[in-house]
Structure 1
Amino acid sequence: MKKPLRILAIFVLAISISLFVLSIVLRFGGFYINTTPSLPVGLYRIVDEPVLKGAYVAFCPPQSDVFELALARGYINPGDCPSGYGQLLKRVHAVAGDTVLIDETGISVNGERLPNSAPLSTDAYGATLPQYRFNEVLAESEYLLLSDLNPHSFDARYFGVIDRTQIVHVVRPVVTFNLQEELLP
């Protein structure tokens, strides 16, 4: 019985190391692997395109209390951003000149309510979530980033708008799977 368990352990270790190496090779090759439900799960490629409404972007969260809370609670991971956080992938929903309202009922852009944008008062473990409020026209370097798929995503509902200097790349899906339909109620 020990031999099959050892073979299984070696197999699992080999697969784990291979996936880790593959993720590093892909990142250096200009790809991201998204495993979170904020966007469709899959492979994304870095593209040289402007940051426009509807684009997917990778961004470095700025150093702030709300992101410290997110890190401490495991909503985001540590990483190689200047703030010490890992990069996040989100979709751009508003750009300079758009009127954005973030309140207790959700997020509206130019008077249109965005789907799945109502903020939650607590996370899955009952911890109180920050409640960001905003009602302004976005300035030249401000962007509204959030998930329109996952009502549980940690996004603009909780951290507000992001400055252009935080956006690292525009990314495009290469191969994705919309697992949210099966996983979320």
Structure 2
Amino acid sequence: MMTTLVLTLSIGLFALSILFRIGGIYINTTPSLPVGLYRVVDEPITKGAYVAFCPPQRDVFDWALARGYIHPGACSGGYGQLLKRVYAVAGDTVLIDRSGITVNGELLPNSAPIHTDAYGATLPQYRLDAVLSESEFLLLSDLNPHSFDARYFGVIERAQIVHVVRPIFTFNLQKEELLP
């Protein structure tokens, strides 16, 4: 009885997510961005915008899929689309090193890379010191210091970005740390 209920709910949620996607609605359940509903908008890709993108076929994304950091989906390589925020665009100077990500001399919050995941697996340590070209974007989460983002895979090409999305209804599941 319980198994049937769980299976029915799972199938229902899956069907609902497909209907939402067809209608231009994304459901974000990961803590990389505020959890909730996002809709596709016809806007340019600018700093601060949220975007949906298909990860490019690279070893780091194969690894992330195998580890469960990203979900399977319809993108090349069998990857699912990811939602992230744009933090650097063409002409911005980006430095990614062990201290975090710096854009135009400003260290971004929650951008320091983590060396191992919760299970002790070593995370890739991406390094970059460059000025972004017209087709390059830096995508990450400033909300979640554990997000799989540019700290581990670098910049994303314009061709990988599928949509600009805007929050409809969201809430933040990140817990505030209490200081002693």
After TM superposition, list the pairs within 5 Å mapping 1:2-151 onto structure 2.
6=1, 8-151=2-145
CA distance, structure 1, for counterparts of residue 88 and residue 161 of structure 2? 14
Question: For 1:122 and 1:61, how far apart are their aligned partners in 2?
Answer: 22
* 1:29-78 alpha-carbon deviations (Å, 9 max, x no partner): 00000000000000000001000000000000001111111111111111
The alpha-carbon deviation at position 27 of structure 1 amounts to 0.5
Residues 87 and 121 of structure 1: is their aligned pair in 2 closer, same or farther, counting only changes over 3 Å?
same
AA matched with 1:90: K
- What is residue 155 of structure 2 aligned with on the other side? 161
Cα distance in 2 for partners of 1:135, 1:105 equals 13
Within 2, Cα distance between the matches of 1:128 and 1:22? Answer: 36
Q: CA separation in 2, counterparts of 1:81 and 1:20?
A: 18
Distance 2:78 2:10 in 1: 25
Higher Rg: 1
> Is residue 50–residue 170 contact of structure 1 (8 Å, CA) maintained in 2?
yes
Answer whether contact 1:99 1:138 (CA < 8 A) is retained: yes
Q: Distance in 2 between matches of 1:130 and 1:10?
A: 40
Q: Percent identity?
A: 76
Q: What CA RMSD, in Å, does the superposition of the two structures yield over aligned residues? A: 1.5
Amino acid at match of 2:158: R
Deviation at 1:17, TM superposition (A): 2.5
Q: Deviations over 1:133-164 (max 9, x none)?
A: 00111001000000000000000000000000
Q: How many residues align?
A: 178
8 Å Cα contact 1:60/1:83 also seen in 2: no
Distance 1:182 1:17, change over 3 A: farther
CA deviation after TM superposition for structure 1 residue 83, in Å:
2.5
Cα distance in 1 for residues equivalent to 2:5 and 2:112: 44
Counterpart residue number, 2:175? 181
User: What TM-score does the superposition give when structure 1 sets the normalisation length?
Assistant: 0.92
Which runs of 5 or more structure 2 residues have no equivalent in the other structure?
Answer: none
TM-score by length of 2: 0.94
> 1:15, CA displacement in angstroms?
2.7
Which 5+ residue runs of structure 1 have no aligned equivalent?
Answer: 1-5
**1:72 partner SS:** helix
